[in-house]
Structure 1
Amino acid sequence: MKTNWERHNPIIELPLEAVRSIVRSHDRESIVQQVNLLSGGLSHTNYRVDRVNQEPVIVRVTKNRDSLLRERNLHTRLPAPVRAPHFMHLTQWNGYGIGIVEWKNGNLLRDQFSQSSAIEMERMGQSIGEQLAAIREVPFNTYGFLDTDLAVQQEFRLTPETFKTTIDSFFSGYSSKWLPVYLIEEILSYVSTNAYLFEEDDSGARLVHGDFNGLNLLMEGTDVSAVLDWEFALSGSIYFDIGNMLRYEFLHMRSFEQGIQYGLNRNGVILTNNWKTLAKLADLVALCSLLNRPVCGENRVKDITNLIKGTIYTG
C-alpha cells in the first residue's frame, strides 16, 4: 500500500526549539519531552510530540497553510460519530503552516489487513462502513473542490460525460508520459465502455474524505479508533472513498467488502448494485490524476500502473 512511494513534498525539518515554541503557542504550560518524525504521510510532514505530564500531540507541517485551515474548519462540521482527532491549534512557523492535532491510539488499518481472519475483516469493514456513513452526513449545495471556508470553489461531478473528458484530460497532459501507448488506449476503451454506470450514482453532493485508506485509519481491535488526515476532503460521490479503500487486494477481501456494505446499510446508505465497479471507476480517476505531474517517482509509477491494470483487466 503505497510501499516505497517517493515523496513529492520533501520532509520539513523542525528544530527542537521551533517545536517547543509551536507547542507553547497553544499551551504555555507544555514542556516538550521527545519529538519523533512519523512515517507514512506523503503530503504533510508529521511529528509526534511527547509532553511532560500531558497527552502527546501531532504537529503537522506544510507549505500549503490553506490545506490546514480547511482541515481545521472541516473538523468543526464533522458529526459526533466521526472518530476524527481534535484539531487543537493552527499557527505558522518560518513561512510554513502548522497544525497541532490530538494524538489518537491505534494500529494502522494497513497493518491489520495482513493478519486478520475473515471474521475480523468483516467486522473491520462494518466499522469502516459506519464511519463512512457518518462522514456522508455532511451535505453540500453542489459537487466539487472546497475552499478554506468549505464552500465549493471549483465544481466537479462525475457523470458519464465528465468521467470521459476528465480521463482524456489527464492523457492530454503529463499522465501520458508515464504509461505505454497500448495501456493508454486500453484505459480509454475501458472508460468509454463503462462510463454509463455513473448514471446510477445517486449518492449526492456530500463529504468525501479524499484519502480514505489503510494509511489514514487507526484501529483498536476491529473498531475504527480514528480517521486521520483530511487535507484532500471534497464534496462528491461516496464511490471516491470506497474506491480508495478497496484499491489494494488483501486476503478475505470479500468478507471486508460485505462488512463495509453492511455498515453502510445499517446506517441508511444504500449502494447501487454495481457499487464495486463504480468504486473502481471513481478510483481510476484518482489513479490517473496521481500520474498527471511532470515528475513522478519510479516506485509510484510502477505501483499505479499495476493498480490501473488490475482495474481495467479484472475490475
Structure 2
Amino acid sequence: MRLLPNPERAWERAAHVEALGRAELERRVGPVAGDVEVLSGGHANVNVRLDAERVLRVYRRDPAAAVKEASLLARGWRSFRVPAVLSAGEDFLVLEHVPHVPLEDTATCGAAVGRALAEIHAVGFDAAGFLGPDLAVAAPFGDGVGALRAYVDAVVDRLAPELRGALGGRVGAFLDENAGVLRDLASASVLLHGDFKASNLHGLPSGELLVLDWEFAYAGPSLMDVGQLLRWSPGPEFVAAFAAAYRRSAPLPDGFERWAAAFDLVNLVGLLDGVEPGTRRASDVVGRILATLEHDPPVTATAPERTVPGGLSS
C-alpha cells in the first residue's frame, strides 16, 4: 500500500509549540478524566484529543477563526465528511473525533479528492480576500496576485540569512516574470480550504474522504489549493483521476500541474516563516521551491471560463 507522499509527517515540531495546560483545557471544557493527547499545535492553534469521541481545538492566533471554521464544518458537504461541532466557545471548538487512516496514493483516492475539491471550489466570491465569521469577504485583497507577491516579500525579509540566501530573490523574480499569466488564472475567486494537503485529507472505513482543518480558508484562485495537494508529487494515477473527477464539476486550465506549483510557491515561502536553517522542514521546503523554479513554466496558459457570482453561493 502506497500512501499519499507527505514528508511533512517527519518535520520537527516547531520550538514555539506550547503544551496546553490542564487548567487551561478544563477552563474550556470542564473536568476531563484520564490523560489527554496533544495532536498538533503552534502559533495558530492546538488540537487535543480529550477522549475517544472528542477533540478540543484552541485558536491561538485568531480566535475569530473558530466561528469561521464552525460555519464551514456545518455547511452540509455532500462528497466528503467533516467532523461535527459538538460545542464552541470564544476561542475554541470541541469537535467529533472521527477515526481515520492516511490517504492512499491511488486513482480511487484521487477521484474522491477531485470530487471534494470541486465541491469546495463551487463556492464563489466576487473578490479575493480573507473571510469573516459569516463567510463573506471581510478584507478584500484588491490585486490578488499583487497581495500574494507582497506576502512573499514580507516573509523573505524575515527569514534567517541562510534561507534568504538560498532563495536569492528568485521567487519574487519568478512571480514578476509570470504575473500576467498568474493574474489570468486568478481571475475567478473561489472558496479555498487554504491547507489542502495530505496531512488534512484522510480515508474512512466507509470509503469516504475526511477533510480536516479549515481555519485558513479564504477566497482566492483555485490553483492555490491544487498546488498544496500536488506539492509532494503524488503518483500519475492519483493526479489523472483527481483531474478527471474535478473537471466533471469545475474547470482546470491546460498545464494546471505546472501553474498550481507556481501558485504554491507562495505557500511554500510561508512555510519557512520562523523556521531554523538546517531543519528537515527547511531542507524539504527550500528543495521544493528550487525544484519548482528550475522547471521552466509553459509560455502561456488559458484560464478556463467560469461564472463567478456576486458573493457566497454554491
Q: Quick one: which of 59, 83, 86 aligns to 2:84? A: 86
Q: Which residue of 1 aligns with 2:37?
A: 37
Q: Which residue of 2 aligns with 1:101?
A: 95
Q: Secondary structure at the match of 2:171?
A: helix
Superposed, which structure 2 residues align to 1:1-315 within 5 Å?
1-2=7-8, 3-7=10-14, 9-15=16-22, 22-23=28-29, 32=32, 34-42=34-42, 43-50=44-51, 56-63=53-60, 64-91=62-89, 97-109=91-103, 112-113=104-105, 121-156=106-141, 164-171=149-156, 173-175=157-159, 177-181=161-165, 183-201=167-185, 204-220=188-204, 223-250=207-234, 253-266=235-248, 268-292=249-273, 295-298=274-277, 299=279, 300-314=281-295
Q: Give the alignment's TM-score, normalised by structure 1.
A: 0.78
The two structures, once aligned, show a CA RMSD in angstroms of 2.9
Q: Identity across aligned pairs (percent)?
A: 24
Does the 8 Å contact 2:144/2:186 carry over to 1? no
The change in CA–CA distance for 1:62 and 1:165 in structure 2 (over 3 A counts) is: closer
Where structure 1 has 5 or more consecutive residues not aligned to the other structure, the ranges are: 25-30, 114-120
Q: Give the alignment's TM-score, normalised by structure 2.
A: 0.79
Q: Secondary structure at the match of 1:39?
A: strand
The change in CA–CA distance for 1:20 and 1:289 in structure 2 (over 3 A counts) is: closer
TM-fit CA distance, 1:155: 1.9
Q: What amino acid is the match of 1:143?
A: A
The change in CA–CA distance for 1:254 and 1:101 in structure 2 (over 3 A counts) is: same
Q: How far, CA to CA, are the matches of 2:170 and 2:67 in structure 1?
A: 40
Q: What amino acid is the match of 1:312?
A: L
Q: Which moved further from structure 2: 123-132 or 301-310?
A: 301-310
1:90-129: CA deviation from partner (whole Å, max 9, x where unpaired): 125xxxx2210111121123xx34xxxxxxx111111001
Does the 8 Å contact 1:127/1:223 carry over to 2? no
Q: What amino acid is the match of 1:297?
A: E
Q: Secondary structure at the match of 1:59?
A: strand
Where structure 2 has 5 or more consecutive residues not aligned to the other structure, the ranges are: 1-6, 297-314
The change in CA–CA distance for 1:34 and 1:305 in structure 2 (over 3 A counts) is: same
Q: Secondary structure at the match of 1:145?
A: strand
Q: Secondary structure at the match of 2:98?
A: coil
TM-fit CA distance, 1:232: 0.4
1:112-160: CA deviation from partner (whole Å, max 9, x where unpaired): 34xxxxxxx1111110011101111222232111122322222236766
